[in-house]
């Protein structure tokens, strides 16, 4: 499939996604807004990231960083934020943009890219501080990749 075909289908409403060809009805609201914080808080490895996101300066910086990828016509709701989050992660990991994905194949492609292109994301080697996270907001995406990898192994993502 060519990029032109994908963009045409997106304009016609046959496909969703900002940068990737996903189903028009894909629901990734579990990665948007406070749902992201709740999901990150479920694991001891990613809980410090969730804790940092509860601090107002970090939350505002995260929202502004993410807003660059959200459709300006969208309201910035959890679904739009979730889509922007997962697509930002996919772009940083150089996931193929010329494929059509459903949610499961998209997560699988992200996890596979994360195994081979892990250096694209920051990996903290010390205690996460507000300063570190503010300087490296994509560390949140490192946490998302970690949880996506775990969820893919246990088949917890089913939409």
pLDDT tens-digit map of 16-42 = 777 888 888 888 888 888 999 999 999
Task: Please report which confidence band the pLDDT of residue 74 belongs to, taking 50, 70 and 90 as the band edges.
Answer: low
**How far apart, in whole angstroms, are the C-alpha atoms of residue 118 and residue 78?**
26
**How far apart, in whole angstroms, are the C-alpha atoms of residue 56 and residue 97?**
34
Please give the pLDDT value at position 27.
85
**How far apart, in whole angstroms, are the C-alpha atoms of residue 68 and residue 112?**
25
Please give the pLDDT value at position 19.
83
Q: At residue 42, what are phi and psi to the nearest 5 degrees?
A: -75, -10
Please give the pLDDT value at position 97.
87
pLDDT at 12 over 90: no
Residue among 43, 92, 96, 42 nearest 66 (CA): 92
**How far apart, in whole angstroms, are the C-alpha atoms of residue 70 and residue 77?**
9
CA atoms 20, 148, 37, 29: torsion sign: positive
Length reported for the chain: 159
For residues 111 and 148, the answer to whether their CB atoms sit within 8 Å is yes
CA atoms 86, 134, 70, 30: torsion sign: positive
Q: Select the more confidently predicted residue: 82 or 75.
A: 82
Question: 95: alpha, beta or left, given left = phi > 0 and alpha = psi -120 to 50?
Answer: beta
Residue 87 CB neighbour total at 10 angstroms? 22
Residue among 50, 25, 44 nearest 150 (CA): 44
Structure tokens at 156: 């917890």
């Amino acid at each position: 499939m060519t990029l032109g075909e994908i963009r045409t289908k997106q304009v016609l409403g046959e496909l969703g996604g900002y940068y990737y060809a996903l189903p028009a009805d894909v629901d990734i609201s579990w990665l948007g807004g406070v749902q992201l914080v709740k999901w990150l808080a479920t694991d001891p490895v990613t809980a410090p990231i969730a804790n940092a996101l509860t601090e107002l300066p970090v939350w505002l910086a995260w929202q502004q960083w993410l807003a660059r990828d959200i459709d300006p016509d969208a309201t910035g709701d959890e679904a739009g934020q979730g889509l922007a989050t997962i697509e930002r992660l996919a772009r940083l990991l150089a996931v193929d943009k010329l494929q059509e994905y459903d949610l499961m194949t998209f997560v699988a492609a992200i996890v596979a890219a994360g195994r081979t292109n892990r250096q694209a994301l920051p990996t903290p080697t010390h205690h996460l501080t507000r300063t570190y996270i503010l300087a490296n907001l994509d560390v949140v995406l490192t946490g998302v990749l970690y949880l996506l990898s775990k969820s893919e192994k246990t088949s917890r993502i089913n939409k």
